[in-house]
Structure formats: C-alpha cells, structure tokens
Chains A and B, each alone.
Chain A
C-alpha cells in the first residue's frame, strides 16, 4: 500500500435535478492498482467515470491527477495527461480500420494529427506502434478490416486498444466485457490483467467471479455514494453488500 496515489477524487457531487448521482465520492487510486467499481444498476458508476474523465462537470468537489488539480481541465487534455477511459457501449469509428483508428490515436498523442502536408504512411513510428498494440490484443489479423464488420468481441478489444494508444497512466474501463459471452470475457480480462504493472486500472464489472478474480480492491457504489471500499474478502462477507447487491438485485 506504499504506492503513491495517482488519481484522487475528493467529495465529488453531482445531481441531475432532484436525483443525486454522486454523493461525496472520495476515491484514490494508487499506482498500478487493479480496482473494481461495483454496484447495482443506476448506482452512478458510469456517471462517476464521466465525472472523473471530464464528460460531466461536478457540482462540487475536486479531482487531481498526480497531485495536480484537473477538475476544470477539458476531457481531451486529461487524456493527454494520461487519464483515459473506455466506453460501456462501443464508441468506435465504424468506417475506419482498426489500424487507422489506433494510428489516429497514436498521432493525436504525439500531436502530429494536425499535419495535413505529410502523407499518413510517413508516420512510420506511429503505424508500427499502432500495429504492435493491435497484435498485443490479438487484433493483428483484422487490422485492415473495416471496424463495423468485426465481431462484437473484437470490437470490445478495439475499445481497449484505442485507450492504450493514448499511453494511459490511469485507465478507467466501463464494463469492458459488456455483452460479451462468458467464455470470451475471460480473454478480455486476460488482456486487462496483462497490462503494464504501472498503469492504474479501475474497472466496472457485473460478473462477481471476474471481479473477485481480478480486483485487488473493490469499491461498492450505491445510490451515488460509496458504501464500502475494501479488499475482496471483506466485500464478499460484508452483510450490507450482500443485502443491496449480491442478494437483492440478483446480478451475480
């Protein structure tokens, strides 16, 4: 537990009308962590990711990345500083090939995407890096197929590939295996557990087997607030968690 804190949220609050979707959420992610974010539907898990990554502005509270306050920083700038997310619903570029899409993400990271006078093929390093990421995720064979024609499971992997191309230090995965059959989701989480050790990962997942297998620490979110943050064993045996999540809602 001596790893330095990379990402910290302090008393984040957000309400939509009368509905409180984030109530004083204070989290901290140490370097290299593998945290899971769980909670029943509507608990505000995706909202929390939207707040942290800048798609939504909190009503109050602060977010800091490596000690710097990023509460008012635009979403794209947060990504360039190393705070990247993936989406629960595929948010890809349907008409681009994976090779093009990931190369684009690499070029954006290198700040060379605005160069209109150089052919794309001249960005050799970016292309090689992009192909290496795709190969690492098992997408090398389909790198030049149009994204919309890829099987769903491979599109989920491409979600992660695009995020990796930004060289994240903190990676927020919003249900990376959403909609993927159970046997395939194991492949996805193998990829996630093979990520470089210095990346801090927070993932949302409903499948409790996967959560207990991959998470070193679990945050339980209920009705916008943190009910409990603890190691898997404590969460597994906590009566409140059993009541609101494992028992009642019937997700497991």
Chain B
C-alpha cells in the first residue's frame, strides 16, 4: 500500500487507477507462457490442457475468490460446454470459434437459471447444492447415452481448421495456440470485471454480506450476474477441451473435476486470477511427472502439497509470494 504524501492534495482517482495498472511482471508472465513453443515442443498437448484447466480455474476464481461463493460442482458447466461443443460438431458444424461461443452461451444460460437457487443459500447448504447439481448433471449425461454416448464418451467430433486455415496437428501447436489465445482473451475480460465497480461490489459481498443491503445494494443481482459469467467461461473451457481432443468423456462432468479445480485454485491462490493459472500449471505438471513415477498413488503427493501450502501459505502460492515481496520492499 502506498502512503499518502504529506501536504500534496491526494489523488484518489490516480491511486485507484494504479491499483489496476499492468505491471511488468504480468507482461513477463504472459510472454513466459509462449516458451513451450520453443523449448518444450513435446509438451504442447500438456500445455494446452494446462491452459484449459487454468481457464476453468479462472471461472471458479471469479465466484469463489472474488464473490465468496464456494462451489464443489462447477464441472457441471465445464461438462455442459464440452458436450455442447462436441454435439454441435457431431451434428455437422465443426467450425471451432462459433462452436466455442455457442457452448459458452449454453453453459451461461444454464448458469443463469441455476443462479436463482444459488444466491438463496450460503455456507454448507451452498456447497451441498452445487455438489448436488453436479451429480445430477453427471447422471443425466450418463443415462442419456443416446445423446452423449454415456460411458463410452461422445465420439465423432471433427473440429474444422481455425479460420479455415490452421489445422489441429498431432503435436498440439494449433491446440496450444488456440487454448492460450482463448485463455488470454477470457483473462482480459475477467481482469476488467474484477477491476470494475462490479468487481468491487463482489469483493464487498465476500468481505461482509451483511453490510451490502445497508449500503443499498441488491447484492443477489450481483451474485447472479457473476455466476452466469462464470458458468459461461467454464463452459468455454469445456468446449476448448472437446475441440482440441475431439472426445468428451463423462469425466468432464465428474465430481473429481469439480474438486480438482478448487484444489488448483487454492494451491495457486484465490482472488487474484493469476493464482488460477499458476495452480493449474502446478497441479497438471505434478500429475504428469508423478504419475510417471507412481501412477496409482500420485494423489498422495497432491494431498501433501495441498496441506503444506494451506498451512504455510494460507493465501496460496501467489499469496505467499506477494506477502514475501511486500515484506521485502517494506524495509
């Protein structure tokens, strides 16, 4: 926190503007995400998965990290987006960008309908409602195997080249470029949202929901809005997965996925967007490396890592780093 200089009239607008300004560190961060193209060309498929998981984690950060809505069922929207994009392709329309947007719109629509229920419950009931909705959707997809392929997964997805030019290649160059571009665009949108007056209102809800009506806020409307946006982004992440892998399995909707994304977010740090990206990268790289060593028990290490992070750095890895940095510069 910068201090107010004595005597000079304080520039409140300028201070708030500085809070949302791009830092050089952020530019470096995004440039670093291009490194896999040059140094790890054999890992581009993994990198693409990371970008998709990061986007999914950002969608959860918007509601959990900013608005304080805890969810254990967000895979519902990821899966709905994945199946929507997959089905659009199976039924003959394989154009990726329009498929992506349609899938996001569909997930957002479902999110809007569900949001009427979500904003009426809190705490444990909220977690149970999101969990229940996730399980319902999973079993619904399971039983509607005529549409979804059930346990066999949805097959026959053909994704056309992007802009009718960039084919999806075996190495994953196109897949990672596509996922990274989608991640970046959605990140820009999310960044604008959290730095708006609306983002401030969400933090207000998270910080003290009792005060919100006392400052005249119809905060339920805010929560419904962010829940809908979050569902759309989660759906977009699911659609990316469907389009880059050409298959949708039931596990897109699984409880495991809902839980994993929360773990990623808590590892990286909630309420700071970048935490979602860092958490997804750590989680998936750890899974990739550890499952090579010990395919059955790799969750042991994730569990251990999660406990250590939560105990040592309650605000996640990025939260811990930024606390260290500010202590350093505070001297």
Contact = CB atoms under 8 A, between A and B. Distances in A.
Contacts of B210: 91
Contact of A94 (B17, B195, B208, B212): B208
Contacts of B195: 119-120
A166 B215 CA distance: 6
Main secondary structure of the interface of B (DSSP, over half): helix
Contacts of B196: 115-120
B25 interface: no
B2 A144 contact: yes
B216 A79 contact: yes
Interface in B182-216: 192-193, 195-201, 203-204, 207-208, 210-216
B203 A96 contact: yes
Contacts of A126: 197
Of listed A77, A85, A108, residue having the most chain B CB within 10 A: A108
B198 A140 contact: no
Interface in A82-103: 84-85, 87, 91-97, 99-101, 103
A100 to B, nearest CB: 6
A212 B248 CA distance: 74
A79 B211 CA distance: 11
Given A95-B203, A115-B196, A124 B13 contact: yes
B193 A116 contact: yes
B287 interface: no
Contacts of B214: 53, 75, 79, 84-85, 87, 91, 162-163
B217 A108 contact: yes
Most buried by A among B16, B203, B208, B216: B216
B143 interface: no
Nearest to A82: B216
Contact of A127 (B13, B193, B211, B213): B13
Interface stretch (B70-78, B153-161, B218-226, B256-264): B218-226
A142 to B, nearest CB: 8
Contacts, number: 145
B1 interface: yes
Nearest to B215: A105
Contacts of B225: 114, 116
A96 B207 contact: yes
A77 B216 CA distance: 6
A74 interface: yes
Given A101-B204, A116-B225, A118-B196, A109 B13 contact: no
B140 interface: no
Contact of B198 (A55, A94, A100, A116): A116
A121 B214 CA distance: 24
B12 interface: yes
B13 A121 contact: yes
A80 B216 contact: yes
A113 B20 CA distance: 17
A96 B16 CA distance: 12
B13 A128 contact: yes
Contacts of B192: 116-117, 119
Chain B interface residue bracket vs A: 35 or more
A29 interface: no
A252 B206 CA distance: 39
Contacts of A103: 16, 197, 200
A141 B214 CA distance: 25
A140 B8 CA distance: 12
Contacts of A53: 214
A144 B229 CA distance: 30
Given A74-B213, A93-B204, A96-B204, A120 B199 contact: yes
A55 B211 CA distance: 11
Contacts of A119: 17, 20, 192, 195-196
A143 interface: yes
Interface in B47-89: none
B203 A93 contact: yes
Nearest to B225: A114
A143 B198 CA distance: 20
B10 A143 contact: yes
Given A80-B216, A127-B12, A143-B4, A94 B207 contact: yes
Contacts of B229: 116
A202 to B, nearest CB: 15
Given A94-B207, A107-B201, A140-B10, 11 more contacts: A75-B214, A76-B216, A80-B216, A91-B210, A95-B207, A97-B1, A108-B216, A114-B221, A116-B192, A120-B195, A144-B15
15 contacts: A75-B214, A79-B214, A79-B216, A80-B216, A91-B211, A96-B204, A113-B222, A116-B229, A118-B197, A121-B13, A127-B12, A127-B16, A144-B1, A146-B1, A162-B211
Interface of A: 53-55, 74-77, 79-80, 84-85, 87, 91-97, 99-101, 103-105, 107-109, 112-121, 123-124, 126-128, 130-131, 140-141, 143-146, 162-163, 165-166
Give the 10 A-B residue pairs with the shortest CB-CB distance, closest first.
A79-B216, A116-B198, A93-B207, A121-B17, A131-B12, A105-B215, A75-B213, A76-B213, A80-B216, A113-B201
